[in-house]
Amino acid sequence: METATANFDIQLTTKSRINEFDANNIVFGTQFTDHMLIADCIDGEWQTPKILPYGEIAYNPAIASLHYGQSIFEGMKAFKGQNGEINMFRPLENFKRFNISADRMCMAQVPEEIFIGGLEELLRIDAAWVPEGEDNSLYLRPFMFASDVYLGVRPSQNYRFMVIMAPAGKYYATPPKVKVETEYIRAAEGGVGYAKCAGNYASSLYPAKLAAAQGYTQLLWTDAKEHKYFEESGTMNVMFVIDGKLVTPQTSTTILKGITRDSLLQLARSKGIEVEERRVSVEEVIAGIQSGKVTEIFGAGTAVVISPFAAIGYEGSDYVLPEITEKSVASQLKKTLDEIRQGKIEDTFGWVWTVK
């Protein structure tokens, strides 16, 4: 797959930091590659994008995004292939979703040649930062924020789009213990739950902090009206194996349309696993754990890929889930997904984008 490439103003670093990187001790989101992309949209016109050495950027204290929250992002990954090539996973889907988020937040649309072309250019320049290893990857963070210097409440007229990249390893060292949230909400119908906007994550911090104090790693969000139905889990979509079927809440204005989620559903169907996208009640799941009908619950997302849960907490009780084995649905799906992304098996879905 190829995309049109913009002209980039490229300034390379005079001193790489690659020797400071230890691929055996990766802490997610703490170390960044040598370069970053910056592209400004001024009065509706995109300026020449720049690739610069990674570093600080200056802010005016009246910049609109700091006051009114016009800020969106995507999470993506690049992988080292079998022959040393660099593969991105379904970048066009992230590009499309990024602009859906931009539309909901009244922000500028980013052209494909800047979004995809910029990612390719950065990956060519910082190719040495893509780590090898089964659970290792290079995390890609495209984001955009309002850059007007103006305190009036209206959509900004100017925006800055950026991409930074960080080596990533396994997100959770052990299966997380999650709490069913029945007081606070992540999103309500008609809101911005389906967009990857910064405010969605800011509002989740306080209930997550309360759950952490109770010994939980993450939250399982429920619907805003009744708290009866599951929606998402923290930064992940959530999936259940019920009577051998892979079941997940259907996407809506309150649930992010996850690209990993969609990939796993397609993989499951290709393996002959029955898939259901429907409302999943808390009552059904708790009863299913107790009866043995629910055998797996796991999160799915770019950062975690697949994260099986050890237990879920609900109304003061913890419900322990069976240990994941090589035959578990989660294990089967993760193995196949990893092999596709790393070029170990044929990509019959057309998901892998090899950087030329």
Contacts of 193 (CB under 8 A, 6+ apart): 186, 187, 200, 231, 252, 253, 254, 255, 256
Q: Quick one: pLDDT band at residue 4, thresholds 50, 70, 90?
A: low
pLDDT score recorded for residue 83? 87
Query: In this predicted structure, which of 38-47, 77-86, 219-228 has the lowest mean pLDDT?
Result: 77-86
pLDDT score recorded for residue 356? 86
Query: In this predicted structure, which of 18-32, 55-69, 342-356 has the lowest mean pLDDT?
Result: 18-32
What are 104-160's pLDDT values in tens digits?
999 999 999 999 999 999 999 999 999 988 889 999 999 999 999 999 999 999 999
Query: In this predicted structure, which of 24-33, 48-57, 67-76, 238-247 has the lowest mean pLDDT?
Result: 24-33
pLDDT score recorded for residue 52? 98
Look at residue 288 and tell me whether its pLDDT is greater than 70. yes
Q: What is the DSSP string of 147-207?
A: --B--SSS--SEEEEEEEEEEE--S-SSPPEEEE-SSS-S--TTSSTTS-BHHHHHTTHHH
pLDDT score recorded for residue 169? 87
* Mean confidence (pLDDT) of the chain: 94
What are 302-336's pLDDT values in tens digits?
988 999 999 999 999 999 999 999 999 999 999 99
pTM: 0.94
Q: Quick one: pLDDT band at residue 18, thresholds 50, 70, 90?
A: very high
pLDDT score recorded for residue 24? 83
Q: Which domains does the chain have, with CATH numbers?
A: 9-170 (3.30.470.10), 177-341 (3.20.10.10)
pLDDT score recorded for residue 29? 85
% the chain with pLDDT above 70: 99
Q: Mean pLDDT across the stretch 66-95?
A: 95
Q: Quick one: pLDDT band at residue 222, thresholds 50, 70, 90?
A: very high
Look at residue 212 and tell me whether its pLDDT is greater than 80. yes
% the chain with pLDDT above 90: 88
Q: Mean pLDDT across the stretch 231-252?
A: 95
Query: Rounded to whole angstroms, how far apart are CA atoms 163 and 348?
Result: 29
- Are 309 and 178 in contact, with CB atoms under 8 Å apart? yes
What are 186-206's pLDDT values in tens digits?
999 999 999 999 999 999 999
Q: Mean pLDDT across the stretch 235-244?
A: 95
Instruction: Give the torsion sign (CA, 25, 28, 31, 37).
Output: positive
pLDDT score recorded for residue 349? 97
Look at residue 1 and tell me whether its pLDDT is greater than 70. no
Question: Hey, which residues does 52 pair with through a beta bridge?
Answer: 36
DSSP code of 197? B
Query: Rounded to whole angstroms, how far apart are CA atoms 42 and 76?
Result: 26
What are 270-284's pLDDT values in tens digits?
999 999 999 999 999
Phi/psi of residue 101, each to 5°? Answer: -60, -40
